[in-house]
């Protein structure tokens, strides 16, 4: 049954029947708690992924690897990150599987990609809260592509380490949207710090954003944060 | 000016020596009258996503005298054109601005609030972006597509002090006849309630079609995986049988989130657990059609599709009545009035985004349990599945570039 399903993958494409792939769904569910079965299934999926399949079939495999993928998937999927037709679905896996090799694959792809694909990789590093990416992302705050810089700011906000905060506070982007993202990211970091009872660090961020040169929206957000810090201290 | 002629406002400004800093002609509409507040007291509203539900939302806001509807956004040209025509006819002018890209609309500083009725996969990005731009938001249900989105939407709303209301007028509208006796204590302590809703979302594998409409396909897809155009893939039909985006997992949680927003929302209201999330989902798949039981921290069980059990069937202790408590309601007339009133007073609306997200969590947990075919434990405080690495992978999904939360 599973063999038939993998055979069906070879002709799977938009408009073909999903039913023949049902045994793969069953195998994914059955792999829970069975490391051997999961490893075997992953290997078969990765072999198929490297074959001559339609884009839809490769996307399907990536959806399954999101659940059963391990570090072994990271190596194969790293090669797809630079391909604009497959980069997103490669990230579908690499953003969600906890293996450090997945984060490494994303970090290594950063200098190799540009434009939208780069923004995607940045977003996935942020979603992973990859502290090891902070240095590279900090450098992108001054990227000539404003959309890349904006994405880097948002990702640094997601990661929220001390170095991420420092980079965001030091950023002086000329693009208004990037500055908005950098400020939002700092507020995000402050909230995370306050949730961890790091009141002094959070307060410092809020106070830096409460100055008169900020927009009313930002000043109010900062003031709310300052009040939240006071409430926590009470 | 003749002594016998009553001066017009325009004439007064012209002759009174008022500085030229005075504004241009002030229309009677702007000044308001007995039936309509002056412009300065009207909430400036715009809409994003003007399909089936979006048109309904738009009409609701348009017909409010305390709202000035100024702009709309849709990736379909005919939706934009038809909707603008309706707004312009309502006001008797051609002032309504139209946009293809929601970011341009949100960048306007004159807009106070937006209503969002796009497919679900856009809700979180647009709501968060609206908050960042200082807009209050009325977001259609289901408000989230993944578990990660809810807390981020709540955080953005609180960070910027925004009023963010979810949709589902049915939660207060349709289930009141059960809410009242429940909150009056007539069911006693409610031990369980059942919700029958579905189906689960399915993977969309529709074939490519020639594009028969003028639609910005890349922007319609947005953060969802790329796929070729197909009219059923992007149809806004209310059916969930494979002929609309509501059916498909890349854009929606299927009937579980779509109608679940109403039924689960009603169930949680009846049982007074709108502020809570389940802590465990038990998958009953040993015999017959699988069903679920979701346990709340206070011991309440919410069943999903329990066999031989009617929708919203309650198990309680009617012989042991509990003290009554007042039932919360809208602060304005209906869910739209509630939102607008809260925009004015800065209170939380009845379907505050946190409550709305809590409802969606039930559906998301349910969908995951069915997908993985097993039980799950959920830590609402940490927003994760403790010790369940596989389930944690499904808390969110990578968004197609260039979109990120």
pLDDT at residue B27, rounded to an integer: 62
**Which residues make beta-bridge pairs with B302?**
B193, B294
Q: Please choose, from the candidates B252, B262, B260, the residue with its C-alpha nearest in 3D space to the C-alpha of residue B145.
A: B252
∠ CA A171-B149-A74, nearest 5°, is 75
B225 vs chain A: nearest CA distance in angstroms? 7
Which of B208, B373, B402 lies closest to A14 in CB terms? B208
Kindly state the DSSP code that residue B351 receives in the 8-state scheme. T
Query: Which residues of B are less than 8 Å from A85 in CB distance?
Result: 226
* pLDDT of B237 strictly over 80: yes
Count Cβ atoms within 10 A of the Cβ of residue B1 and give its class: 0-12 exposed, 13-18 middle, 19 or more buried: exposed
- Whether B115 and B316 have beta carbons less than 8 Å apart is answered as no
Cα-based distances in Å from B55 to A46, A143, B156, B388: 46, 41, 26, 42
C-alpha to C-alpha distance for B399 and A155, rounded to whole angstroms: 13
CB distance from B227 to chain A under 8 Å? Answer: yes
- Asked whether the beta carbons of residue A155 and residue B132 sit closer than 8 angstroms, the reply is no
* Pair B336, B64: CB distance under 8 Å: yes
Interval B259-281: pLDDT, tens: 999 999 999 999 999 999 999 99
3-state secondary structure of B204: coil
Per-residue pLDDT band at B169 (split at 50, 70, 90): confident
| Residues of chain B contacting residue A66, judged by C-beta atoms under 8 Å apart | 393-394, 397
Instruction: Report pLDDT for B3.
Output: 39
Q: What is the pLDDT at residue B58?
A: 98
Q: Compute the average pLDDT of residues B306-333.
A: 95
Query: Quick one: A86 and A137 in the same domain?
Result: no
Mutate to test the interface with A, among B374, B398, B403 (most CBs of A within 10 A): B398
Domain's final residue, options A57, A89, A113: A113
Q: Between A93 and B22, where is the model more confident? A: A93
The pLDDT assigned to B2 comes to 39
Instruction: Provide the shortest C-alpha distance from residue A200 to chain B (in Å).
Output: 18
Report the CATH number at residue A122.
Answer: 1.25.10.10
The reply to whether A132 and A175 lie within a common domain is: yes
Closest by CA to B252, choosing from B144, B333, B354, B340, is: B144
To test the contact with chain A by mutation, choose from B134, B401, B403 the residue with the greatest count of A C-beta atoms within 10 A, namely: B401
Q: Which residues of B touch A86 (CB under 8 A)?
A: none
Same domain, yes or no: A140 and A221:
yes
Arithmetic mean of pLDDT, B111-120: 98
What distances in angstroms separate CA A151 from CA A129, A217, B100, B219, one per listed residue? 14, 21, 22, 18
Edge-first strand order for the sheet with B97-99 is: B97-99, B67-73, B43-48, B113-116, B136-139, B164-166
Chain A, nearest residue to B223 by Cα:
A88
CATH fold for domain B171-201+254-393: Dihydrodipicolinate Reductase; domain 2 (3.30.360)
For B336-354, what is the mean pLDDT?
97
Inter-chain CB proximity A96 and B398 less than 8 Å: yes
> How do residues B213-226 score in pLDDT, each as one tens digit?
999 999 999 999 99
Mutate to test the interface with A, among B146, B219, B404 (most CBs of A within 10 A): B404
Using the predicted structure, report yes or no on whether residue B20 has a pLDDT greater than 60: no
Q: How many domains does chain A have?
A: 2
Average pLDDT across chain B, whole number: 92
Q: Are strands B67-73 and B43-48 parallel, antiparallel or unpaired?
A: parallel
**Pairwise CA distance, residues A199 & B102, whole Å:** 36
Q: Pairing mode, if any, of strands B43-48 and B136-139?
A: unpaired
Contact B350, B331 (CB under 8 A): yes
Helices (H), B28-114: 28-31, 52-62, 77-91, 102-106
Residue B127: predicted pLDDT: 98
Q: Is B94 exposed, middle or buried (0-12, 13-18, 19+ CB in 10 A)?
A: exposed
Task: Decide: B139 and B166 in contact? Cβ < 8 Å.
Answer: yes
Rg of the Cα atoms in chain A: 22
Nearest to B68 by CA among B25, B5, B113: B113
Please tell me if residue B387 touches chain A, with a CB cutoff of 8 Å.
no
Best CA proximity match to B128, nearest among B404, B380, B345: B404
Q: Are residues A121 and A204 in the same domain?
A: yes
pLDDT at B30: 65
Where are the CATH 3.30.360.10 domain residues in chain B? 171-201+254-393
Q: Which helix (H) or strand (E) holds B138?
A: strand B136-139
CB contact under 8 A, B159 and A180: no
* pLDDT-based confidence at residue B338 (cuts at 50, 70, 90): very high
Q: What DSSP designation does B115 have?
A: E
Got the DSSP string for A58-97? HHHHHHHHHHH--HHHHHHHHTTTT-TTTHHHHHHHHTT-
Task: Indicate if the alpha-carbon torsion angle B101, B105, B107, B112 is positive or negative.
Answer: negative
Cβ atoms of B296 and B279 within 8 Å: the answer is yes
Chain A nearest C-alpha distance from B18 (Å):
30
Confidence of residue B34 (pLDDT cuts 50, 70, 90): low
- CA B145 – CA B252 distance, rounded (Å): 6
Domain closes at, from A113, A136, A171: A113
Task: Tell me, yes or no, whether A204 and A103 share the same domain.
Answer: no
List all residues 6 or more positions away from B123 whose beta carbon is below 8 Å from its beta carbon.
B116, B139, B140, B142, B143, B144, B145, B149, B153
Q: Which residue has the higher pLDDT, B239 or B46?
A: B46
Residue B4 pLDDT > 60, yes or no?
Answer: no
Across the interface, which of A14, A32, A151 has its CB nearest the CB of B205?
A14
Residue B154: count other Cβ atoms within 10 Å of its Cβ. Answer: 20
B19 touches chain A (CB under 8 A): no
Q: Same domain, yes or no, for A19 and A125?
A: no
Pairing of strands B136-139, B113-116: parallel
What CA–CA distance (Å, rounded) separates A44 from A63?
A: 14
CB-based contact B159 A221, cutoff 8 Å: yes
Name the residue in chain A with its Cα closest to that of B104.
A177
**Lowest mean pLDDT, pick from A119-128, B171-180, B205-214:** B171-180
The SS3 assignment for A174 reads coil
Per-residue model confidence as pLDDT tens for chain A (234 residues): 999 999 999 999 999 999 999 999 999 999 999 999 999 999 999 999 999 999 999 999 999 999 999 999 999 999 999 999 999 999 999 999 999 999 999 999 999 999 999 999 999 999 999 999 999 999 999 999 999 999 999 999 999 999 999 999 999 999 999 999 999 999 999 999 999 999 999 999 999 999 999 999 999 999 999 999 999 877
Write the DSSP symbol of residue B184: T
| CATH number assigned to the domain covering B23-168 | 3.40.50.720
Last residue within a domain, chosen from A96, A113, A130? A113
The beta strand positions in B326-386, using DSSP E, are 376-377
- Among chain B residues, CA nearest to A68: B390
Window 177-206 of B: residues touching A by CB (8 A cutoff) are: 202-203, 205-206
| Mutate which: A67, A87, A156, vs B, most B CBs within 10 A | A67
Residues from chain B contacting residue A217 (CB–CB below 8 Å) = 134, 160
Give the number of other CB atoms < 10 A from CB of residue A101. Answer: 17
CB pairs under 8 A between A and B: 106
Mean pLDDT along residues B124-143: 98
Do A176 and A213 belong together in one domain? Answer: yes
B228 touches chain A (CB under 8 A): yes
Binary contact (A217, B400; C-beta < 8 A)? no
What gap in Å lies between CA B44 and CA B40, rounded to an integer? Answer: 9
Q: Which residues of B touch A117 (CB under 8 A)?
A: 401
Q: Hey, are the CB atoms on B398 and A187 less than 8 Å from each other?
A: no
DSSP B120: G
Which residues make up the CATH 3.40.50.720 domain(s) of chain B?
Answer: 23-168
At A23, give phi and psi (nearest 5°). -60, -30
Domain of A230, in residue numbers = 114-234
User: Across the interface, which of A117, A118, A220 has its CB nearest the CB of B161?
Assistant: A220
Give the nearest partner residue to B404 out of A14, A154, A180, using CB atoms.
A154
Q: Do the interacting molecules here have an ipTM over 0.90?
A: yes
pLDDT of amino acid B29: 61
Which residues of chain B does A155 touch, with a Cβ-Cβ cutoff of 8 Å?
404
Distance from C-alpha of B61 to C-alpha of B111, rounded to nearest angstrom: 14
Cross-strand pairs, B376 = B281
pLDDT (0 to 100) of residue B39: 73
The stretch B180-194 carries a mean pLDDT of 97
Find the CB nearest A184 among B132, B400, B403. Answer: B132
Displacement of CA B181 from its chain's centroid (Å)? 27
Give the number of C-alpha atoms closer than 13 A to the C-alpha of residue B261, restricted to the C-beta side.
23
A92 with B155: Cβ contact below 8 A: no
* pTM score, whole prediction: 0.94
CB B145 within 8 A of CB B253: yes
Predicted confidence at residue B171, as pLDDT, reads 86
- The answer on A127 and A96 residing in a single domain is no
| Arithmetic mean of pLDDT, B153-168 | 96
CB neighbour class for B19 (10 Å; exposed up to 12, middle 13-18, buried from 19): exposed
Are the CB atoms for B191 and A219 separated by under 8 Å? no
Closest-CA distance of chain B to residue A29, Å:
6
Interchain CB contact of B44 with A (< 8 Å):
no
pLDDT bracket for residue B38 (50, 70, 90):
confident
Helical (H) or strand (E) element with B47:
strand B43-48
A16 contacts in chain B (CB < 8 Å): 205
Query: Does residue B345 register a pLDDT over 60?
Result: yes
Pair (A32, A135) in one structural domain: no
Closest chain A CA to residue B103: A177
Segment B391-403 mean pLDDT: 98
Q: How far is CA B262 from CA B115, B170, B292, B315, B380, in A?
A: 19, 6, 18, 20, 21
């Amino acid at each position: 049954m599973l063999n038939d399903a993998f055979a069906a993958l070879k002709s799977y494409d938009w408009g073909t029947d999903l039913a023949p792939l049902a045994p793969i769904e069953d195998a994914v569910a059955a792999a829970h708690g069975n490391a051997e079965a999961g490893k075997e299934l992953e290997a078969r999926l990765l072999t198929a992924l490297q074959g001559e399949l339609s884009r839809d079939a490769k996307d399907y495999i990536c959806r399954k690897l999101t659940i059963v993928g391990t570090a072994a998937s990271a190596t194969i999927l790293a090669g797809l990150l630079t391909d604009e037709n497959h980069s997103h679905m490669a990230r579908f896996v690499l953003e969600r599987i906890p293996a450090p090799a997945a984060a490494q694959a994303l970090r290594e792809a950063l200098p190799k990609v540009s434009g939208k694909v780069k923004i995607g990789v940045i977003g996935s590093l942020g979603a992973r809260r990859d502290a090891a990416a902070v240095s590279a992302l900090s450098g992108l705050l001054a990227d000539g592509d404003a959309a890349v810089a904006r994405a880097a700011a948002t990702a640094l906000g997601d990661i929220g380490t001390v170095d991420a905060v420092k980079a965001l506070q030091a950023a002086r982007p000329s693009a208004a949207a990037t500055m908005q993202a950098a400020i939002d990211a700092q507020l995000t970091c402050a909230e995370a710090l306050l949730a961890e009872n790091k009141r002094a660090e959070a307060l410092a961020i809020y106070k830096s954003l409460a100055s008169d040169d900020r927009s009313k929206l930002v000043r109010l957000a900062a003031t709310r944060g300052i009040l939240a810090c006071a409430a926590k201290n009470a | 000016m003749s002594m016998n002629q009553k001066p017009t406002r325009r004439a007064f400004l012209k002759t009174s020596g008022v500085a030229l800093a005075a504004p241009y002609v002030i229309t009677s509409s702007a000044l308001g009258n007995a039936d309509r507040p002056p412009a300065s007291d009207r909430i400036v509203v715009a809409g994003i996503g003007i399909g089936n539900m979006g048109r309904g939302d738009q009409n609701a806001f348009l017909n409010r005298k305390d709202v000035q509807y100024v702009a709309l956004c849709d990736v379909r040209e005919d939706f934009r054109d038809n909707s603008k025509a309706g707004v312009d006819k309502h006001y008797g002018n051609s002032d309504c601005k139209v946009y293809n890209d929601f970011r341009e609309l949100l960048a306007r500083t004159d807009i106070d609030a937006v209503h969002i009725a796009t497919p679900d996969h856009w809700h979180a990005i647009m709501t968060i972006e609206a908050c960042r731009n200082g807009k209050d938001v009325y977001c259609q249900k289901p408000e989230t597509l993944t578990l990660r989105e809810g807390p981020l939407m709540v955080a953005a709303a609180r960070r910027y002090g925004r009023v963010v209301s979810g949709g589902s007028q049915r939660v207060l509208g349709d289930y009141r006849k059960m809410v009242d006796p429940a909150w009056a204590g007539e069911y006693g302590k409610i031990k369980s309630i059942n919700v029958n809703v579905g189906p689960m979302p399915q993977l969309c594998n529709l074939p490519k079609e020639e594009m028969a409409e003028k639609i910005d396909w890349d922007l319609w897809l947005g953060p969802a995986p790329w796929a070729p155009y197909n009219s059923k893939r992007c149809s806004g039909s209310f059916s969930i049988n494979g002929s609309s985006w509501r059916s498909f997992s890349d854009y929606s949680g299927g009937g579980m989130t779509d109608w679940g927003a109403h039924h689960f929302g009603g169930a949680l209201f009846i049982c007074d657990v709108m502020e809570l999330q389940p802590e465990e989902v038990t998958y009953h798949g040993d015999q017959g059609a699988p069903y679920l039981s979701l346990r709340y921290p206070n011991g309440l069980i919410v069943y999903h599709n329990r066999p031989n059990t009617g929708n919203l069937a309650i198990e309680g202790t009617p012989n042991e009545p509990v003290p009554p408590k007042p039932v919360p309601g809208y602060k304005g007339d209906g869910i739209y009035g509630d939102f607008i009133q809260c925009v004015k007073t800065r209170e939380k609306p009845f379907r505050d985004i946190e409550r709305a997200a809590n409802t969606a969590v039930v559906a998301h947990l349910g969908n995951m349990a069915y997908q993985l075919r097993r039980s799950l434990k959920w830590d609402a405080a940490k927003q994760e599945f403790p010790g369940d690495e596989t389930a944690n992978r499904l808390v969110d999904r990578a968004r197609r570039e260039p979109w990120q939360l």
